[in-house]
């Protein structure tokens, strides 16, 4: 537990950066920076494993010092003292810490991943996660919000599915504690994760920032207009909730059988697909056993923020409810409401606009007189009431807030609010999965992506900081379009490979054509861990997908040579090679016949006398089956 004692009359307090907290993972085998806020001019002392280091708080109220290198292990305790105040941080493990960032596919939770049972079975307490609370700010902030969670079957439901799979596989290789910092936000474009300086450093990117800043001059007028329209909409629609059909069906009652309801990790918006905006009603139910020492006590339940309105029941009795998403929910539960044995919490959420669901960040239940609480940030049962209540008509939806400060896609906003305050915490490397939000902007991405990587490395003062990313899978917006924006984005992502110590996972074989969020997440995490094992831990080499090395056009045939064929190329299903096309003299594309001549392939097409170009898996949702001996899919290309 983090303890703090305060000297009387002090206007400021000693406060280490929030990432320095109970259950944290500190980076092993490196000089560890420890930093935070304090009283200007006062001395801060950090004690850790017999080592003491001191520094003076700067006039702006910040301090930073370094601890010596320390081998993996734990648990340890750190004490931080200044001006009569003390913070004690317990249960520290020394290991490797990785930063996870990007949009919804890396944010996608364990509880909604296909391999949820496998991940829950294989997680262990030496895998820990710090989830950064999402915020977009106009300028870099000093502190993030978030907390460390120890890995267990019960706690990982809302962790990144890819992140947990990555950590599980890394543990098998590195044999050390693994810490994950999850700074993710669904629906974000790359410019939101770039610093203002990096956006302004390139003439091809500067217009993004210039346009945003230029629009701010009239932002308050637009914001006031939107607020007036939203107020009118709210007044007209406040009572348009069609009722509480779930209540009529007994969904609030403890005896109701919810075994067929879906599982959902909370807190989480139900609109996981950021391309959709579904408004209406949904229910959540959670079963719990009353701890023996809570018997006869009044309790307090906290749900965090809700989008937009809620009715909350325990054991069939309504214990609270509120309108609007700006009020964190906290309700008193009388001692007669709960009882020994099983109890049931039921929450109905009615969403009029924006994100719907129980949004958190804190979900918990505990005695009002203090003490340990029950963490409710776990898997609940859920049922979408839209099956019996129609969603709100598109034309009748609440007006959208104009782009401006606080918007998730404000240029540099996510960087300033979620990445900048993490620096210079010691990380082993970065895992990145983003690009869906920039589909249709491939040309800009070719510049933005390497610029982001270089900027983050400069800020961490590590030009060799490992950076692993996931190339976009398929998504069936079109079958064989003349111009595939998803294929172009995959090609643009390759720009990151022009930098050293950057590697890519190809995920083209893991797509689900019907959703932008494929639910098979473990294989992607495993492939990322394979890159880390090969490049960081020097354990294993067969971790890279085949990628085109050269192409030679020779009349009616073409020969393509691949890197990373390893012991040979083959097809994933044992059938003929699919996915190659050749271009004729008129610019038309034709399906090709392919012969594998490891590490190369030759392609040809009936009736094509002269081949002018070759492409592979070049579509929004392609069907290709070329893999190497490790079973890793070939990288899409067009030449």
304, pLDDT greater than 90: no
Write down which residue in 374, 391, 408 finishes a domain: 391
Whether 177 is covered by a domain: the verdict is no
pLDDT on residue 10: 37
DSSP letter (8 states) at residue 2 = -
Residue 530 in tokens: 């394979």
The CATH number for 611's domain is 2.40.10
Residues 615 and 486: their CA atoms lie apart, in Å, by 14
The share of the chain scoring above pLDDT 70, in percent, equals 92
Q: Is 119 exposed, middle or buried (0-12, 13-18, 19+ CB in 10 A)?
A: buried
The CATH number for 356's domain is 2.60.120.260
241, pLDDT greater than 70: no
Write down which residue in 391, 410, 444 finishes a domain: 391
523: left (phi over 0), alpha (psi -120 to 50) or beta: alpha
Q: Would you say 354 and 342 are in contact if contact means Cβ atoms under 8 Å apart?
A: no
How do residues 67-93 score in pLDDT, each as one tens digit? 999 999 999 999 999 999 999 999 999
Q: Would you say 593 and 448 are in contact if contact means Cβ atoms under 8 Å apart?
A: no
How do residues 503-529 score in pLDDT, each as one tens digit? 999 999 997 766 788 888 999 999 999
Q: Would you say 127 and 208 are in contact if contact means Cβ atoms under 8 Å apart?
A: no
For 304, the enclosing helix (H) or strand (E) is strand 299-307
Q: Would you say 552 and 608 are in contact if contact means Cβ atoms under 8 Å apart?
A: no
629: left (phi over 0), alpha (psi -120 to 50) or beta: alpha
Write down which residue in 334, 365, 391 finishes a domain: 391
Whether 453 is covered by a domain: the verdict is no
Name beta bridge partners: 563.
547
How do residues 186-238 score in pLDDT, each as one tens digit? 989 999 999 999 999 999 999 999 999 888 888 888 888 988 988 887 777 65
Please tell me the total count of domains within the chain: 2
Whether 107 is covered by a domain: the verdict is no
How do residues 143-167 score in pLDDT, each as one tens digit? 998 999 999 998 998 899 999 999 9
How do residues 387-433 score in pLDDT, each as one tens digit? 434 455 555 667 888 888 989 999 999 999 999 999 999 999 999 99
For 130, the enclosing helix (H) or strand (E) is strand 127-132
pLDDT on residue 192: 97
How do residues 593-620 score in pLDDT, each as one tens digit? 999 998 999 999 988 999 999 999 999 9
Range of the domain at 616: 547-638
Q: How crowded is residue 294: how many other Cβ atoms within 10 Å of its Cβ? A: 19
How do residues 47-74 score in pLDDT, each as one tens digit? 999 999 999 999 999 999 999 999 999 9
Question: In 3D, which of 186, 390, 403 has the Cα closest to residue 278?
Answer: 390
How distant, in Å, are the alpha carbons of 12, 157, 414, 438, 569 from that of 187?
37, 21, 12, 9, 36
Q: What average pLDDT score do residues 315-342 get?
A: 90
Residues 301 and 322: their CA atoms lie apart, in Å, by 14
SS (H, E, C) 169-182: HHHHHHCCCEEEEE
Residues 599 and 129: their CA atoms lie apart, in Å, by 41
Whether 186 is covered by a domain: the verdict is no
Q: Would you say 355 and 269 are in contact if contact means Cβ atoms under 8 Å apart?
A: yes
Whether 578 is covered by a domain: the verdict is yes
The SS3 assignment for 437 reads helix
pLDDT band per the 50, 70, 90 thresholds, residue 275: very low
Q: What average pLDDT score do residues 14-19 get?
A: 94
CB neighbour list of residue 367: distance below 8 Å, 6 or more residues apart = 294, 297, 298, 299, 300, 373
How do residues 571-589 score in pLDDT, each as one tens digit? 999 999 999 999 999 999 9
Whether 487 is covered by a domain: the verdict is no
Whether 504 is covered by a domain: the verdict is no
pLDDT on residue 3: 38
Q: What average pLDDT score do residues 440-461 get?
A: 97
């Amino acid at each position: 537990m983090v303890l703090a004692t305060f000297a009387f009359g002090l206007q400021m307090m000693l406060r280490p950066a929030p990432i320095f907290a109970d259950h944290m993972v500190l980076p092993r085998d490196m000089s560890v920076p420890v930093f935070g806020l304090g009283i200007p001019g006062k001395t801060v002392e950090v004690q850790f494993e017999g080592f003491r280091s001191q520094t003076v708080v700067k006039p702006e109220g910040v301090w930073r010092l370094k601890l010596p290198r320390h081998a993996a292990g734990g648990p340890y305790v750190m004490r931080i003292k200044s001006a009569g105040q003390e913070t004690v941080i317990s249960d520290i493990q020394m290991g490797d810490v990785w930063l996870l960032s990007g949009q919804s596919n890396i944010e996608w939770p364990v509880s909604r991943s296909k391999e949820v049972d496998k991940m829950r079975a294989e997680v262990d307490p030496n895998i820990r996660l710090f989830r950064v609370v999402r915020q977009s700010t106009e300028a870099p902030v000093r502190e993030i919000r978030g907390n460390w969670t120890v890995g267990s079957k019960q706690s990982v439901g809302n962790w990144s599915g890819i992140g947990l799979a990555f950590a599980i596989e890394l543990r098998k290789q590195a044999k050390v504690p693994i810490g994950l910092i999850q700074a993710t936000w669904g629906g974000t474009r790359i410019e939101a994760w770039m610093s203002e300086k990096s956006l302004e450093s390139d003439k091809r990117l500067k217009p993004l920032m210039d346009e945003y800043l230029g629009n701010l001059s009239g932002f308050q007028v637009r914001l006031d207009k939107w607020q007036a329209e939203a107020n009118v909409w709210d007044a007209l629609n406040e009572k348009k909730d069609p009722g509480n059909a779930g209540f009529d069906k007994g969904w609030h009652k403890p005896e109701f059988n919810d075994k067929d309801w879906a599982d959902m990790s909370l807190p989480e918006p139900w609109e996981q697909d950021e391309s959709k905006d579904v408004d209406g009603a949904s229910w959540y139910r959670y079963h719990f056993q009353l701890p023996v020492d809570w018997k006869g006590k009044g309790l307090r339940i906290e749900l965090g923020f809700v989008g937009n309105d809620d009715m909350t029941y325990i054991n069939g009795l309504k214990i609270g409810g509120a309108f609007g998403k700006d009020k964190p929910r906290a309700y008193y539960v009388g001692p007669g409401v709960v009882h020994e044995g099983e109890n049931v919490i039921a929450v109905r959420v009615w969403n009029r606009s924006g994100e719907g669901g129980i949004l958190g960040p804190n979900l918990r239940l505990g005695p009002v007189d203090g003490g340990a609480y029950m963490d409710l940030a776990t898997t609940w049962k859920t049922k979408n009431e839209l099956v019996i209540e129609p969603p709100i008509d598109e034309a009748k939806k609440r007006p959208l807030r104009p782009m401006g400060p606080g918007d998730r896609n404000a240029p540099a906003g996510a960087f300033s609010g979620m990445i900048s305050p993490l620096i210079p915490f010691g990380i082993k490397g970065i895992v990145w999965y983003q690009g869906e939000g920039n589909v249709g902007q491939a040309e800009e991405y070719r510049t933005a992506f390497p610029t982001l990587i270089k900027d983050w490395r400069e800020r961490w003062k590590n030009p060799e900081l490992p950076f692993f990313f996931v190339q976009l899978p398929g998504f069936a917006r079109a079958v064989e379009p003349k111009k595939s924006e998803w294929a172009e984005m995959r090609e643009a992502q390759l720009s990151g490979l022009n930098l050293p110590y950057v590697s890519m996972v190809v995920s083209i074989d893991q797509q689900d054509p019907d959703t932008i969020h494929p639910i098979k997440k473990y294989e992607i995490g495993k492939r990322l861990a394979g890159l880390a094992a090969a490049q960081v831990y020097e354990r294993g080499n067969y971790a890279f997908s085949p990628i085109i090395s050269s192409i030679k056009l020779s009349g009616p045939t073409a020969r393509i040579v691949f890197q990373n064929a390893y012991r040979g190329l083959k097809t994933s299903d044992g059938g003929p090679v699919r996915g190659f096309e050749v271009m004729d003299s008129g610019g038309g594309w034709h399906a090709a016949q392919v012969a594998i001549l490891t590490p190369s392939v030759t392609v040809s097409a009936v009736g094509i006398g002269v081949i002018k170009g070759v492409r592979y898996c070049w579509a929004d949702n392609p069907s290709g089956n070329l893999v190497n001996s490790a079973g890793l899919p070939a990288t899409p290309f067009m030449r």
